[in-house]
Amino acid sequence: MSLPVSVPDEPEMALARGAALASANAPIFASSIAALAQAVGKATNYAHTALLYVEPHTATLAVVNTADGSVADVRRRFLPEDDDEAVAELVEMVTGVAEMEAHPEGVVVVGSGVDVPLIKPALEAGTSLPVSVPEQPKVVLARDAAPASANAQLLNATAFLEARNLCKSFGRWPTETPILKNIDLRISPGEFVALIGPSGSGKSTLLSILGLLEPPTSGDVLINQKSVARLSRQQLARLRGRAIGYVFQSFNLLAGLSVAENVMLPGLLAGESGRAQYDWAIALLDQFGLAALAKRVPAELSGGEQQRVAIARALFMRPAVILADEPTGNLDTINGRKVIDALYNLNSAGQTIVLVTHDRSIADEAPRLVSLLDGRIETDSGPIQVTSGVAWRAHN
């Protein structure tokens, strides 16, 4: 019961979680945890902030450097079943914070499936450091009130997504190479757009600019007729978090987290965690027939299942648009089919989807087909009329 704070008898788990926090493979998790701790550090002028991430069965403590968001120290513990014992364990962790590397000046507590405000007083009693619990935004209430599994719940925001005379070059003069050339593209709510083109034609570059992951060299990205060009980095990050759900060829699930926790990560990034978020993650997994796998870790799932978990995660913030970059690229035909069917089903519920693929047979099913060649739009079958929020051609 009274183990030292740095669990030496569980080095592999601690390493796995530490790796999840620090590794380049986990930019979403690393940046969300670090960003949260960093934001608190900035608001309070701490040089280092301790972030305690509490899950139903485990707790992770990370010390984050406010200046650069880097993780200075990570510790993890399993929590006892009994609530009182678990709280005692957490208090002990927090008590040990003062001895951690880099001497944090305050503790931020984030819960996932755990009622953090309830345990805050106990934690405060355990340390002389200030303890803060990020506030739950109002949106949580709306989500709480949403019916558990109607398709309508997927229809949160809608947005027109537009590229205007978009150009992108890499490198610097005089060796600068143009990659995207004068791209004009307008995607309406409810559309399913397949983007095809040979390798190197600029599909991923276009998708990441549309997804606000990188800026164009010239031209404009507009969301609901508004240019994003003058938004600050923070405003962009917030808009991206709310408006865009990204799915990559590699599933980018975090090995140290359960399936449900992986789905909930975007919520954590936005400072939303709790029972409502857990229930929402389960409802999303349920849409893809994966609810029974919620407690497993990604390695126990097939590739197709993992990719559908990644799609559930992309849907967590109810984004206006799902951007999927070769989501079937690492899958066999059967698993790839299931992922594509999942995307079509989402679209039939009104979700706007842009799918990059070089599989012609998949692209041919799409209501709208846009092909890229050498950084230009070669053909565009054109927007189709979206009626009652559905742009789906039956494909049985």
List interacting residues with Mg ion (CB under 5 A). 204
Told to check if 2 binds ligand ADP by CB under 6 A, we report: no
Pairing status of strand 218-223 against strand 106-111: unpaired
Among 170, 229, 238, 275, binds ligand ADP (CB under 6 A): 170
Min dist CB 214 to Mg ion, Å, is: 13
Would you say 158 or 208 has its CB closer to ligand ADP?
208
Choice from 204, 258, 262, 347 touching ligand ADP (CB under 6 A): 204
For ligand ADP, which residue of 48, 75, 203, 240 counts as binding (CB under 6 A)? 203
Tokens of 237: 């990050």
Minimum CB distance to Mg ion, residue 293 (Å): 29
The amino acid that residue 241 corresponds to is: G
Does residue 78 touch ligand ADP according to CB under 6 A? no
Distances (CA, A) of 17 to 23, 32, 92, 258: 10, 14, 19, 12
CB of residue 360 to Mg ion, shortest distance in Å: 16
Nearer to ligand ADP, 45 or 199 (CB): 199
Q: Minimum distance between the CB of residue 250 and ligand ADP, rounded to whole angstroms?
A: 14
Which of 27, 121, 200, 289 binds ligand ADP (CB under 6 A)? It is 200
Min separation Cβ 7 and ligand ADP, Å: 40
CA distance 359 to 364: 9
Taking alpha carbons only, the member of 388, 371, 13 closest to residue 196 is 371
Of 199 and 385, CB closest to ligand ADP? 199
- Residue 179 binds to ligand ADP (criterion: CB under 6 A): yes
Return the DSSP state at 136. P
Which residue in this structure is represented by tokens 């400072």?
Answer: 271
**Residue 295 tokens, joined:** 């407690």
CA-to-CA separations, 249 to 12, 93, 101, 187, 322, in angstroms, rounded? 27, 38, 37, 22, 14
Amino acid at site 329: G
CB 376 to ligand ADP: min, Å:
12
* 3-class DSSP assignment, residue 27: helix
Q: Which does 168 bind (CB under 5 to 8 A by kind): Mg ion, ligand ADP, none?
A: none
Task: Classify strands 161-170 and 177-187 as parallel, antiparallel or unpaired.
Answer: antiparallel
Query: Is residue 202 a contact residue for ligand ADP (CB under 6 A)?
Result: yes
Q: DSSP 3-state assignment of 186?
A: strand
- Interacting residues toward ligand ADP by CB under 6 A: 170, 179, 197, 199-205
